[in-house]
Chains A and B, each alone.
Chain A
Amino acid sequence: MSSSNELELNGKQEFTITVYTENRIGILNRIAIIFSRRKINIESLNTSPSEIEHIHRFNILIHETEEVVRKLARQIEKQVEVLKVYYNTNEDIIWQEMALYKVPTDTIAEKVSVERLLREFGARAVVIRKDYTVFEATGHREETDKLIEVLQPYGLIEFVRSARVAIIKDSDGFNRKLREFERRDPGEEVIENEFLDKEKNVFSM
């Protein structure tokens, strides 16, 4: 955790922006240009289906002041196909990034105490082949970085890290509200459900 020393002199810190959207072509671009127009770099971006069919959830990580992030959130929420936007500091969330490490099996088996490695970093072997082994580790950036350092001398072949995914600590009822919303105001692809066309809601949480 580095949140305590994050508030630098310019007031910028890490913010995780959570966006619920319709699953539509082009929405990624509409959201991305809100940042690029203001010359703000997206440090990490994850988008994947939420627990509700047709609704996607974005996690966007940026380094900015809260004032700017608040304005960005409103600009994102203004997009027609965006349902809801939240922004949180690192204190407000629990987050993880997943990393995969591919190393030569012979070196690893010979020179490293694999067991110790796995224990220490909470990693697990996903694939073990004669020529290479793939480890997986999940954690904060610093933790997955550390394992790179450790494996580098042993001929790290390839490394990949996922975007941050984050759970908001104070998110009581998110799932319930989303599910209820989908039932009362189903997506265009839904052919039949008990509430179809009975309610005209706009998503709110």
Chain B
Amino acid sequence: MTTAQAEASTLTEPKTTTTVTGSVALLEGLIAEGTDTIFGYPGGAIMPIYDALYDYKEKLSHILVRHEQGGIHAGQGYARSSGKVGVVFATSGPGATNLVTGLADAQIDSTPLVCITGQVFAHLLGTDAFQETDVINITTPVTKWNYQVTDATEIPAVLAKAFYIARSGRPGPVLIDITKNAQLQLFEYEGYVPCEHIRSYRPKPIIRKEYIEQAAALINTAKKPFILFGQGVLLGEAEKEFKAFVEKSGIPAAWTILGAGAIPTDHPLNVGMLGMHGNYGPNVQTNACDVLIAIGMRFDDRVTGRLDKYAKQAKVIHLDIDPAEIDKNVKADVPVWGDCKETLPLLTALVEEKTYPEWLAEFRAFDKEEHDTVIQKELNPGTGEMTMGEVVNKLNELTHGNAIIVTDVGQHQMVACRYAKFNNTRSNVTSGGLGTMGFGLPAAIGAKFGAQDKTVVAIIGDGGFQMTLQELGTIMQTGIDVKIMILNNRFLGMVRQWQQLFHEKRYSFVDITSPDFVKLAESYYIAGKKISEREELISALEEMLNHKGSYLLEVMVAKEHNVFPMVPQGSSVSEIRLK
């Protein structure tokens, strides 16, 4: 233990000051906020922080990623699986710009992150210094808040503010850019005081009782009520409150892909997935229900399809913590402002205990139709090439729905979301709003660090895997146990599907070749196997899951297979196609 660290560690007593560097103050602050893991990559402008980190190896585990984009996606995966704030370090210039995709992803998917970037010396700002970039202005549109520190004395309070903003209200990514002089500067450190209040910032709107009452009155007189739930339930840690509401009200509930797992997949009132590739019933019934209760979701265009034909017959109740989401896409008849952890119990208390057997039977009828037309063939094709659905289904049988499933973006993502079984909350880690290819592998690494007792399976396409495969190096070096399942259809499948359906099969640059993924994994000392025969599937999955440590399983699947059902772009949800 160095002197600096020894001194800094005794800083719990307020008002006893110690002379420390800005870097040490930063690390002390992170520890005070409960940070245990940092995903990062060093470089010139962040070297003082890394130098300080050398003495904090015991308290802060730093994961050296292979690219800053991998670092931030890992931070997102960590935050999503653990519910904690993900922490990411990067240097100035290219280090910082490599964070942008992850910031945009975290911003649109409301993922709490605190990113620390190094910056050139304050006196060099604006001089086009080596590795200088205007990271504050580049990241403003993709952060909930950002701030440039040029003086070490600001660090404790700014860090406290950053954590408070990142995790409170509707969570989101925050970036602090620290100039090198501030990292090096010695100052009188008075200890860390967490932030609990910012006078211009209201994380949660004030709950309005009259709206709760109006919502309950609508629900109690409804004949065909329908619940849509999103990630807000997870972010608000309101799974219990949500389950209580669903079970007392007896209302069928469908999920957005980020809401998956808020109640278990096989809960009797869970009627499935919404959206473009969601289930048949929930999409059709959106335009048949009389009261639509949206909870912690934001009516993304991939969920609503054509807005002017979306749930026009229904009264809409919208529960959301972010007032800007109310009436943004779908006009709410009753806006229930607030944190759903607080509003749901108030609503549950006022709704009558009911069941809707006939209404629910309608959903089941649609389920049967979808099962007979799509699901049966997808999960049990019997002969021919393997389908993505059957692979995911067999995985379910082995994990029993207890694994964390991390996906990349594309066909395999939609298939995984549709067919993976989730018994637990925070089990589906996927890039929802931004649709970031390359998210899967690094996010899976982060998800495993955030939930080490869980099995983490990354389901990734052959295209997306090649975007961030350098993170195999991170797996190699850390020895983290991530199961990687590449569903290889030798195509950029989702784009190919659209080209087939809407562009007369003009397959423009979707034919992608791949390296030998198993050999690639082997070169990183990661065990692996490639299969293309159905007979090998179960034993290969077993081998992957039972293997001690990371494992890469490449499954060759049908080349030209489409994800159905599908709401074509520009169509109404009730015009969903089964083929």
Contacts and interface: CB of A to CB of B under 8 A. Distances in A.
A191 interface: no
B322 A78 contact: yes
Interface in A85-104: none
Interface string A165-205: 00000000000000001000101000000000000111100
Given A74-B324, A75-B324, A80 B198 contact: yes
A81 B200 contact: yes
B145 interface: yes
A80 B200 contact: yes
B140 A201 contact: no
A33 B117 CA distance: 22
Main SS at interface, chain B: mixed
A29 B140 contact: yes
B47 interface: no
A80 B140 CA distance: 12
A75 B324 CA distance: 6
A181 to B, nearest CB: 8
Contact of A33 (B140, B199, B328): B140
A77 B322 CA distance: 11
A-side interface size class: 20 to 34
Interface string B322-342: 111001100000000000000
Contacts of A153: none
Contact of B136 (A21, A26, A75, A83): A26
B330 to A, nearest CB: 13
A111 interface: no
Given A21-B200, A26-B136, A202-B199, A80 B324 contact: no
Contacts of A202: 197, 199-202
A11 B146 CA distance: 36
B165 interface: yes
A118 to B, nearest CB: 44
A185 B322 contact: no
Given A71-B324, A74-B323, A80 B201 contact: yes
Interface in A19-53: 21-22, 25-26, 29-30, 33, 37
B202 A37 contact: no
Given A21-B200, A202-B200, A78 B145 contact: no
Interface string B139-172: 0110011111000000000000000010000000
Given A71-B328, A78-B324, A37 B200 contact: no
Given A33-B140, A80-B144, A80-B145, A203 B324 contact: no
Contacts of B148: 25
Contacts of A201: 199
A93 B412 CA distance: 55
A83 B199 CA distance: 8
Contact of A80 (B165, B196, B323, B327): B165
B158 to A, nearest CB: 11
A82 interface: yes
A69 B147 CA distance: 28
Interface string B190-216: 000000111111100000000000000
Nearest to A181: B199
B324 A83 contact: no
A37 to B, nearest CB: 7
Contacts of B147: 26
B3 interface: no
A78 B147 CA distance: 17
A26 B143 CA distance: 13
Interface in B192-249: 196-202
A200 B322 CA distance: 21
Given A75-B324, A80-B201, A33 B136 contact: no
B137 interface: yes
Interface residues of B, number: 22
A25 B322 CA distance: 25
Interface string B505-544: 0000000000000000000000000000000000000000
A88 B202 CA distance: 23
B519 to A, nearest CB: 45
Contacts of A30: 140
Contact of B199 (A25, A29, A75, A185): A185
A203 B406 CA distance: 41
Nearest to B199: A185
Contacts of B201: 80-81, 202
Nearest to A55: B200
Interface in A135-153: none
Contacts of A83: 199-200
B86 to A, nearest CB: 19
Nearest to A78: B324
B101 to A, nearest CB: 17
Given A29-B137, A29-B140, A82 B322 contact: no
A45 B447 CA distance: 45
Contacts of A181: 199
Which one of A21, A37, A70, A78 has the highest number of Cβ atoms from chain B below 10 Å of its Cβ? A78
Nearest to B170: A78
Nearest to B203: A202
B200 A33 contact: no
Nearest to A82: B200
A30 B142 CA distance: 10
Nearest to A200: B197
B323 A78 contact: yes
Nearest to B326: A74
A8 to B, nearest CB: 22
Nearest to A188: B157
Contacts of B199: 83, 181, 185, 187, 201-203
B464 to A, nearest CB: 27
A201 B197 CA distance: 8
Contacts of B144: 80
A58 to B, nearest CB: 13
Contacts of B328: 71, 74
Contacts of A187: 199
A173 B338 CA distance: 27
Contacts of A25: 148
Nearest to A37: B141
A169 to B, nearest CB: 25
Most chain B CB inside 10 Å of its own CB: which residue of A71, A80, A83, A200: A80
16 contacts: A21-B200, A26-B146, A29-B137, A70-B327, A78-B322, A80-B145, A80-B198, A80-B201, A81-B145, A81-B200, A81-B201, A82-B200, A200-B196, A201-B199, A202-B199, A203-B200
Interface of B: 136-137, 140-141, 144-148, 165, 196-202, 322-324, 327-328
Interface of A: 21-22, 25-26, 29-30, 33, 37, 70-71, 74-75, 77-78, 80-83, 181, 185, 187, 200-203
Given A25-B148, A200-B196, 13 more contacts: A22-B200, A29-B137, A29-B140, A71-B327, A74-B323, A74-B324, A78-B322, A78-B323, A78-B324, A80-B144, A80-B145, A202-B197, A203-B200
Q: Which 6 pairs of residues, A with B, have the shortest CB-CB distance?
A: A74-B324, A185-B199, A202-B202, A83-B200, A80-B201, A80-B145
